[in-house]
Amino acid sequence: MLFKMEPEMAKMHMKPKKTTTVKRKRWKRGLSIGVMCFIAFFYLFPLLWLFDTSFRPKVEIFNTPPRILQAAPWETFKSYSLNSFDLAINRYQMNQGFLNSVIITVSGILLTLLVCSLAAYAFALLRFKGRNFLFYCILATMMLPATTMLAPLFKVIQSYGLYNKHLGLILLYAASALGVFLLRQYYVRLPVSMIEAAVMDGASKLRIWWWIVLPLGKPALSALAIYQFRYIWNDFLIPMVLLRNRTLHTLPIKLQVMDSVNVAKDYDAIIATGFIAIIIPIFFFLIFQRQFMEGLSGSLKE
């Protein structure tokens, strides 16, 4: 009996001490989460301000303190409207810019995936003369950024007859050496047995690519798609140099055009267009969060 009580007593002795440390820990945890949430809120405040003001009339945009902080938020929501979007669409054809951005981004991504996965498949799984040499050549082109050669790029695209055309941009984006590299790194690790089985069954190389390599390589394809999406959707300098017509402009260029009005600048239209330009990536990010963050770095680490 006495023997059995001893641990119990020890426990009772320990108990009060333990609860204080637990309490202190919980308090500390709450505090650090609170502080970090506050920092995150402060960090994101410019964005929240942009989201909020895109629905506000022009007179309320530059209120200080921001209109949303002037009264209870639900009361300030009364002035919400879609007027700035109206203005952006009617005066600056923002809808057209949106459509152009979508066309260029979607076709750019699809073409990149097609072209790069074909090349990566050859480098990873086929044997041919000069394979290593050609692969080194591709790696070398990774060191040739497009923007340092802006003037020649402009001239070359012009000489191809692709100046002021979406196609020129799409082809330019599809030539992604990084894409070939990323996919190849993934393809060399694919299970050889499946491919060997397909070879035994007499499948052609093209069939093996389409039916085995592409489906198995989906994670790498989606990483590349996300990388290209961010790059193409947000790219500004190259489209600005290569597209002249207003009807061809993408969203970032629309923003620049709106900004180049010097007298009575329509900041409300700029904010509305900016809202559209960033809500699309944020929307996809919320759905594919893991793929976004792992994306490039994850594939490189493997």
Residues 149-208 that bind another protein (CB under 8 A): 149-156, 160, 171-172, 174-175, 177, 180-181, 188, 205
Interface with another protein, residue 12, by CB under 8 A: no
Confirm if 296 and 227 have CB atoms less than 8 A apart.
yes
Find the shortest distance in angstroms from Cβ 147 to another protein. 5
| 225 lies in the binding site for another protein (CB under 8 A) | no
Residue 1 or 144 with smaller CB distance to another protein: 144
Interaction of residue 29 with another protein, rule CB under 8 A = yes
Among 5, 237, 244, 246, contact with another protein (rule: CB under 8 A): 237
8 A C-beta contact, residue 94 and residue 85: yes
94 burial (CB, 10 Å; 0-12 / 13-18 / 19+) is: buried
Please, which of residues 101-120 interact with another protein by CB under 8 A?
A: 114-116, 118-119
SS3 breakdown of the chain: % helix, strand, coil, rounded to 5?
Answer: 80, 0, 20
Sign of CA dihedral 9, 14, 20, 24: negative
Contact between 301 and another protein per CB under 8 A:
yes
In the bound complex, what is the minimum distance in angstroms from residue 285's beta carbon to another protein? 5
Interaction mask 75-104, another protein, x per CB under 8 A: ------------------------------
Q: Is 40 in the site for another protein (CB under 8 A)?
A: yes
CA distances from 215 to 119, 197, 210, 220 (A): 16, 16, 8, 10
With b for 16 or more beta-carbon neighbours within 10 A and e for fewer, the 195-230 pattern comes to beebeeeebeeeebbeebbbebbeebbbbbbbbbbb
Q: Interaction with another protein in 44-63: which residues (CB under 8 A)?
A: 44, 46-47, 49-50, 62
Q: Minimum Å distance from CB 299 to another protein?
A: 10
Smaller CB separation from another protein, 7 or 65: 65
Q: Which residues, 6+ apart, have CB-to-CB distance to 217 below 8 Å?
A: 117, 183, 186, 187, 190
Q: Given candidates 33, 82, 167, 197, which one binds another protein under the rule CB under 8 A?
A: 33
